[in-house]
Structure 1
Amino acid sequence: MQVPPPISVRSIRPYPLSRLVIVTAGLIAALGLITSSMLYASYQDALREREVTLRNVAIAFAAQTAGVAQAIESAAQQAARIVLVEGDSPSAGLADGQDGLAHPYLLRVVVFDSDGRMAGSIMPGGRTRDLPALAPPGMDGTRRITISDIDRVTGRGILNFMQPVLDRGGRRIGSVVAQVDSVRFERLYNLVELGTGGSVTLLHRDGTMLVRGPGFPAGIGRSFLDTPLFREQLPRATRGAFAASSPINDAPGLYGYDVVDGVDLVIITGMAREVALEAWYGRLWTALAFYLLLAVVLSLLAWRVARDARRQYGLIDLVSNSEARLAKSFDYLASIVNAVGAPIWVLDGARRIVLANDAFARLVGRPRESLPGQDESAVLDGASPERERRYAAVLAHGGTQNATGTMHDGSGESRTVIQLTSRLTGDDGTAHLVNVLTDITERERAEARLAWLAEFDPVTGLPNQAQFRRLLEVRMSTAAADERELAVVALLLERLHEIVDLLGHDAGDRALRQVADLLRDTCAADGEGAVAARIRGAEFAFVLEAGGGRQRVERFALALHRAMSAPLQLDGRDFFLSPVLGVALYPQDGRGADELYRSAQGAASGAGFEVDEAVHFFSASRHTELGHRLTVEAHLRRALERGELRLVYQPKVTVQDQRVVGFEALLRWTNPELGVVSPADFVPIAERTGLILPIGAWVLEQACLQMELWAAQFGRPVKVAVNLSPRQFHQKSLLDTIRRCLAQYRVPEGCLELEITETALMSREQEVDLLMHAIRKLGVHLAIDDFGTGYSSLAYLKRFPVSRLKVDRAFVRDLGRDEDSAAIARSIVNLARGLKLQVVAEGVETEAQLAVLREMACDEYQGFLFSKPLERDAVEALLARQAAS
């Protein structure tokens, strides 16, 4: 702040006391006006900032609550459809590949049929909490959310998500109720600290309080319909902020609210006004103290000047001392103004700077001493017509004006500011403009960031699930009006998790950003307005025009598949993401946004079992097949514990003398609901889901147990071969499992044989070599199953410790009729003989086939010609007959 030059004592003349009183009062009034303007602006800023914060917190919690509610209703719907449409247990629906968001909240899912009778109930995750009996929902089939079983001491209750279940034709076939522990939501809302008296509350649209954090037991279940939120705010807007008295204790407060998308719920956040203004009150008392101090100082100075001015010129020394004290007072005033953090500057009528504080000098990037006398436009971001009009209005009419705008500081950076302008009139009647600036740049950026995060994924910058759903609804509405087709593409990158597993989450985020760039490039190349979004994890979605029909969509999807199939380079490595794509078309595959995307997801899920196509379009038949596979998978997960699996044994017979030399253990499954399930149906599912690992271990253990029992029964060892799947073969614990079974069931050396496909041997050859030699050292024989159908190689036959080759039934089937099949089979037999390996032919069904194998000098065979796979009792009878003969 610039200090005016000292007043010469020679210029002091007596003048009326009334004039001095008027001048002093005017200066104190001007300072009071400046102080009041600053405090008022600060007060409004504090309230606006808190209201914006409360509104944004409400928006964030509404979005999170909407996601949880959607997941809960989706999980309940799926369980209900399994029960009411497929007649299965509701647990099958809850195990159906959900992302897991609903499970921590669910206490129980209860399904009712169309007559209100309970059709099924489950407590997910093995919970055992005792829950009260649940009355059936009303027969009107409406969707409701209620609270029941409220503990008046703790406020804990059960939230009931009730919704109808419709069949594909839209007919109500039942109801489902998902029960949720309200404490789960209360813990979520307690994560935000809003100060004393602050709260986050979940209300039903009918005014009923459902959850409040922190807890308020007396209000849970009570109606708050007659409050400003429901009377005034919600009728005007679905989200916003307002000030009102608390309906609980009548204390003044600030509130933010937002309607939860998709359900009849409202989130309201509250804070006591006293808490919101704590910081402002501190500034208020400081400013008042400074103002009172200045008023006292100015009054004292005026009194002393008036007294000294009436003395004679002989009192020069006394007047000089008063002049010195006055100069010190101006220095003190300068230090006070310079201590204010907000930029302050005063202009004369010509818009030249008269006074400026240190904060203003820092803002414009110039020394404070150089500012007085300069035109404002030369130091403050150039001339502004809007600012000049505001100055003219203040000079003409007085008062205070404030405006929000942008300006560039001394470094050239753009800032968002609030400028407060007041008029100050001097003793000579000259009017000056006093300006105070408040920088709100960071607050604006924070608000913009929060608004962006509500619609976009923070890692990839792509639209998030909620934004994609809104965009899809708009596109579908436009397409319906114009009678056009749309396509939704679901993309799943099945192996993206490998990057996180190997390199960590930071590398995973970098990979996601690379993927997002590729997706944007693919959409841009499409040229038809295709839009990409990230749904969750490694799942992405696209919406595009389908004006060219299925071929146009397929071209886009194939381009997308090519882009995602190329290796992704990260930290010097190439990663393959294994993209799976599903496509659904509007309107034939779904009328609503959720239904259409579920159809695309269903098509992608079916792709996991069909590797012959890059792009999978939704179809009713595939949907049915997917449902069947999921049903089989659900039953298969319980097959072991329910004792539904068993082993049968197919004899291995010598070609020359028809003598049984061993058996191959084969897995069979009989389910009470599905009946006899073919291995061709359930083994691929077990392999894909990982269920083959526990099932395979069970098969190995049962085969070893049976060998021990037969050895004790017949007094000699019986050889049994067991198949190992590729996934089981590469399991790290395989060697320990084999070692344990051999020891536990006292299997003699050479009696157990493991059959491995060629495909399992072709990856990680060094590890495979070490593993096979380790297995062979345990006294276990190794056989190559289905030899000739995979990657047949003399190199691995020479390298690996294999004892036997099995000729696939595809080459045996046409023996005696097809010379090519005979040549292949003969080559395998000759190859094995040259390598001193035994040969077993599979699928021998005719005497003609056996005659050809005998002429080739094949060692052993198995097939229906001798015997179909036998149950355990039949095997024992066969062994007894052979021993007797």
Structure 2
Amino acid sequence: MAPPPVSTSSDIWDFPLTLFERFPTLIWRADTDTKCSYFNQTWLEFTGRSLEQEIGDGWTLGIHAEDFDRCVGTYLEHFAVRTPFEMEYRLQRHDGEYRWIIDTGRPIYDQSGEFAGYIGSCLDITDRRNTEAQLRERETRMSTLLASMGEGVIMRDAHGVLLMHNAAAAEILGLSEEEMRNWDMHNGLITYLTEGEEPADIEQIPAMQALATGRPQAGTLGIDRKDGTRRWLWTNSVPLFEEDSDTPRAVVTTLADITARRDSEEQLRLAWTVFRNSVEAIIVTDARQCILSVNRAFTEVTGYSAEEAIGSTPRLLKSGIHEHNFYEAMWRDINTHGFWQGEVHDRRKDGTFYPSALSISVVRDKAERITHYVAVFSDITERKASEARIAFLAQHDALTGLPNRALLHDRLEQALASAARHGKRIALLFLDLDRFKTINDSLGHMMGDQLLQGVALRLTGCIRETDTVSRQGGDEFLIVLTGMDTPDDAARAAEKILDRLRQPFDIDSQQLGTSFSIGIALYPEDGTTVESLMKNADTAMYHAKESGRNTYRFFDERMNVNALERLHLENGLRRALENNEFTLYYQPQVDLESGRIIGMEALLRWFSESMGSISPARFIPLAEECGLIVPIGKWVLQTACRQARSWQDQGFPAVPVAVNLSALQFRRADIVATVATALADSGLAGTWLELELTESLLMQSGPDVEATLGHLKALGVRLSIDDFGTGYSSLAYLKRFPVDRLKIDQSFVRDIAEDPDDAAIVRAIIQLGRSLRLEVIAEGTETPEQMDFLRDERCTAAQGYLFSPPLPAEAVTELLRWGRLPAAPLLAG
């Protein structure tokens, strides 16, 4: 029984199209073959693409790569069972930005209840997701901040009832979490004290005063905790108001335990008799900051005698380095908290400056009136120098002074971020000193260290200020080159380094010659992270060592091919035509219904006199790179046509022979004239020649490709799409170009018996071909199970090792003479 219809075609499409065209949402429709056939104007304006570009599977080009598998999988999964779906994914907008959308799809049925496809609508939810993420982040930050604060934080409502607190507040008050939850200001768990250590009324507490007055209240508060200990707190209470209301709705109080500081101040009053023997300089002033006393350390640090300092103010040490705001903030803390601590720059009597670690404390009498200020400071020049040295050594190599691995990692990360923003290339050079161990073992480590220092100096002179040289340890160095336009820039830098390092080093009256093996990795080609670039540059460096040392190699395999080997292979390829080293093998194509041989695919093989059999995967890309594919392709066409005519002349049933065409043949050669000449010279009728084209060739060969294919069809030749499904797989070019056959790529055929996804793809291609009245042939058929699946799905034909491997022309002739294939019994069964 058919599922209850969600909507019907007539429900949807009886509305004027203009209604959908200007909907604020993105509207799409898919037909029963899963291909999208309609997008409203809102969708097209969002993506900036035309309807022709979007229909079919074209819309999937805008899906973010990280969301692609999930999105398309969800779509196909629901399409298979015809159930509604809703999914979120990123879709590229016309300006290149990826936006989060929520896509809702519903199956539709026609008036007779037959499934008619899907209709869907999409909303841009990027701003909503960003807002939700910001709110979650803000909430997390606030919770983390409160939890990590050393100060206690308490919030009470207008009646003094506790609303929230952090862990520090419970610790300061000496209450457990359970007690905090049940805490009432009147329950006696805590006794409040005034600054004069007298019991305080609830109304005297700053928090209650802030609620009563509507103004912030700050001050010192004493508490006797339930554990019997006394604590002194600095509290700051701020009232919170509703909008358009003068009445506080709550109050937030921060608590800082200043008990230890008050004890320190008491200790200070008792320590006057011993301060003169302190190793730190001490100044005691009166409440007006007039110096009353200094100790011996003060004279040693500042150069002023006690007689010169007493009666003056601490301003005689003022360096003029700090601005007025610095001193204002310092005295604000002193007057508020009674204490300040930090670093200042002062000046000695001789006018020299020095950094000082300074602390200033207020001394009060029992009435809490300020009586004195006590400043304790020390010259921290040596400490600062040590810290600077430690900081330098933490990021630099102790021997050469170059950035170490940690600093290089940081700089390379920054360079990668900058390169990503500006679309620039970065080169990472991994350098290893050749035979450095021999120098160390024979001349000693001291000589080796001096050599490394000399190498570091020369390397630094080879680069720009924006680049970085780093020593990784031992005899390994890394260089980050920024702003590279082409790989050749990195190559020139490597050549410059090798040239500079070629000159011998004069060390202890000895001349030491050395060289480097250099590996080069490029961003973004060879990696987009620090780790991947370092790993790949290291790999390239070992290739350089294997190539004889004192050279450089790129990690990119195309750049890393040994020059002599490449030259040897290319020269051999150029002589192969002259030496008749090429031959064609042919693989039969079989009709799955009758078992008849209905075609042959011509496959190029190279048997070199000097190098033996060369794999097509090795020499064909090289032939395309150096342009030799054009004359080679011409030879393949002529040879295949002559062989097909020869089989016909021998009386065998005529079958087409298929030849693969390279995109380079389309761009650099008059392919129509080449094919016409091959047919004319061989006497083969065009109907018996099939040209196999790739999807990428059809999509990228330029606007004149349609005319070229039309001219080829005029010669009578057949056209097929090779490796169908691995490229664009767009229905648009199938409709536009005069294609006769689709060839299913063997990567899909290989697992059709086990992988439901591959089976679904193959089934869809077969149905697509049948719908478009195209023949469909499956490549790579190797098992009876694969053949049974293809035959059950009404696939036209197949080729593969199940029927026959590629064979030389003589063997195929015998096969034709025999009149049947080894797999014929399977087909018959």
TM-score norm. by structure 1 comes to: 0.35
Q: Which structure has more RCO (C-alpha within 8 Å, separation ≥ 6)?
A: 1
TM-score norm. by structure 2 comes to: 0.37
